[in-house]
A and B are shown apart, each in its own frame.
Chain A
Amino acid sequence: MQACRLSVQDLACRRGDRLLFARLSFALAPGEALQLAGANGIGKSSLIRIIAGLLPAYAGTVSSEGAMGLVDERPALDPHQPLGKALALWQQIDGPADNLAARLGLAELMDVPVRYLSTGQKKRAALARLIGQSAPIWLLDEPLNGLDVKGVALVESLAADHCRAGGICVIASHQPMALPALRQVAMQDYLA
């Protein structure tokens, strides 16, 4: 795993004319995982998108080293393509790394068009895309949505493996996650 590092300094986020959070800071070293916890609408997804560079921060800075991978509510897979082909597009872009499709329970689904997959199966497919990207920094926005009990345990073990290999996980979720050495940022402490 390539070297990675992620820190945010005095971050503030504004959506419309509302300041969602302010003065938020944290730093993560390789192998560390962080859960962003808080009620709906508190700014977890916005924070993830700011870290990913997809949304401008209202104030503060994000500095990072190493590629980032993102899983959010959109799987980013062509709905009309069979799952195998939709994932193959990302493998062509990201290189031929193993995407652990078998471990994710996707091996049987490769011929099924993505639009016929269930919510949980799409989430698993998005995780396969993420793993194939082999980015050291994982940004997971509500990764447990739509997953069954086994799926939740799977995400926890994948994230734990990723951290053990020297990666960083930032997880936005209102559900508790069982991860060794998981730090928490309670977003309500940073309300503006």
Chain B
Amino acid sequence: MIRVLLSLLRRDLGLLLAGGRRGGALLPVLFFLSVAMLFPFAVGPDAPVLARTGGGVIWVAALLAAILPLDRLVEPDLELGLFDQWALRGISEEWIMAVRIIAHWLSFGPPLMLAALPAAALVGIDGDKLRIVELGMLAGTPGLAALGVMVAAITAGLRGGAALGGLLVIPLAIPLLVFGAGSLATGGETGLALTAAASLVLLAMAPFAAGAAIRAGRG
């Protein structure tokens, strides 16, 4: 079983990481950086204002970047008949979804955390605040990945699923966003802990919800 899951993870990573056929990690990162770059133009060069609001913008940009690959997370495999073949081999949808959450997170979480460094410099965040932004993203992005895969599985096969997916993720991501960005205002630990808690709940739930959605879509 472990061997099978590892080969599935390798395949998912090959498709989702840089140069992969499902968009790659580069596009969300570039999108994230360009949002961070536009923000000072829109708000103006007032350094204190930028530094105060910049952390929140980084979080919103991360959320939007996580939504970008949604329509390619589950739907293509469903159309290819891969899920049916896995089901015949007794590989449960839950395992496949858990593997996909890991692959999805690896394809956007760490790259976004790296990209947050130049983005933070653009809005004038540094030192302790930057540390909280990075820790917050470490705690929050796995939850975003779980949420993304769950919503992608629910909307796979629906007409207009891509737009609907984005629309569904945003309200469900509110806890992550409130605590993650909120940890910047309160200066730390409670916010980070709550972000991580929200992430863990999503990680624990998402494979089951996503697996059930795939099965329900078969009928």
Binding site for B on A (CB under 8 A): 52-56, 67-70, 72, 74-80, 89-90, 92-94, 129, 133, 135
**Contacting pair B88 A80 (CB below 8 A):** no
- A77's closest neighbor in chain B, by CB? B80
**Contacting pair A70 B80 (CB below 8 A):** no
**Contacting pair A133 B82 (CB below 8 A):** no
**Contacting pair B219 A72 (CB below 8 A):** no
Q: How many cross-chain pairs have Cβ atoms below 8 Å apart between A and B?
A: 53
Q: For chain B, what secondary structure do more than half of its interface residues adopt (helix, strand, loop), or is it mixed?
A: helix
Q: For chain A, what secondary structure do more than half of its interface residues adopt (helix, strand, loop), or is it mixed?
A: loop
| B4 surroundings in chain A (CB, below 8 A) | 92-93
A10 CB to closest chain B CB, in angstroms? 20
Give the residue of A54, A69, A75, A80 whose beta carbon is less than 8 angstroms from that of B87: A54
Give Cα A141 to B81, complex, Å. Answer: 13
**Contacting pair A69 B88 (CB below 8 A):** yes
Give the residue of B15, B82, B91, B219 whose beta carbon is less than 8 angstroms from that of A76: B82
Q: Which 10 A-B pairs have the closest CB atoms?
A: A74-B81, A92-B7, A80-B21, A76-B81, A76-B85, A76-B82, A93-B4, A54-B84, A68-B88, A76-B80
B115 CB to closest chain A CB, in angstroms? 26
- B15's closest neighbor in chain A, by CB? A78
**Contacting pair B88 A52 (CB below 8 A):** yes
**Contacting pair B85 A56 (CB below 8 A):** no
| A78 surroundings in chain B (CB, below 8 A) | 11, 15, 21, 80
- A126's closest neighbor in chain B, by CB? B81
| B79 surroundings in chain A (CB, below 8 A) | 74
| A80 surroundings in chain B (CB, below 8 A) | 21
Give Cα A171 to B219, complex, Å. Answer: 22
| A89 surroundings in chain B (CB, below 8 A) | 7, 11
* Interface residue tally for chain B (C-beta within 8 Å): 19
| A54 surroundings in chain B (CB, below 8 A) | 84, 87-88, 218
B159 contacts the other chain (Cβ, under 8 Å)?
no
A101 CB to closest chain B CB, in angstroms? 18
Question: Can you report 12 A-B residue pairs in the complex whose CB atoms are below 8 A from each other?
Answer: A52-B84, A53-B87, A53-B88, A55-B219, A70-B85, A76-B81, A77-B80, A78-B80, A89-B11, A92-B4, A93-B7, A94-B89
| B81 surroundings in chain A (CB, below 8 A) | 72, 74-76
Give Cα A41 to B173, complex, Å. Answer: 44
| A53 surroundings in chain B (CB, below 8 A) | 87-88
| B218 surroundings in chain A (CB, below 8 A) | 54-55
**Contacting pair B89 A93 (CB below 8 A):** yes
Known: A89-B7, A92-B4, A133-B89. A79 touches B84 (CB 8 A): no
B1 CB to closest chain A CB, in angstroms? 10
Q: What 0/1 readout, one digit per residue, does chain B (61-87) give for beta carbons within 8 Å of chain A?
A: 000000000000000000111101101
Give Cα A76 to B76, complex, Å. Answer: 10
Known: A76-B80, A78-B80. A67 touches B89 (CB 8 A): yes
Give Cα A129 to B81, complex, Å. Answer: 13
| A90 surroundings in chain B (CB, below 8 A) | 85
B145 CB to closest chain A CB, in angstroms? 22
- B90's closest neighbor in chain A, by CB? A67
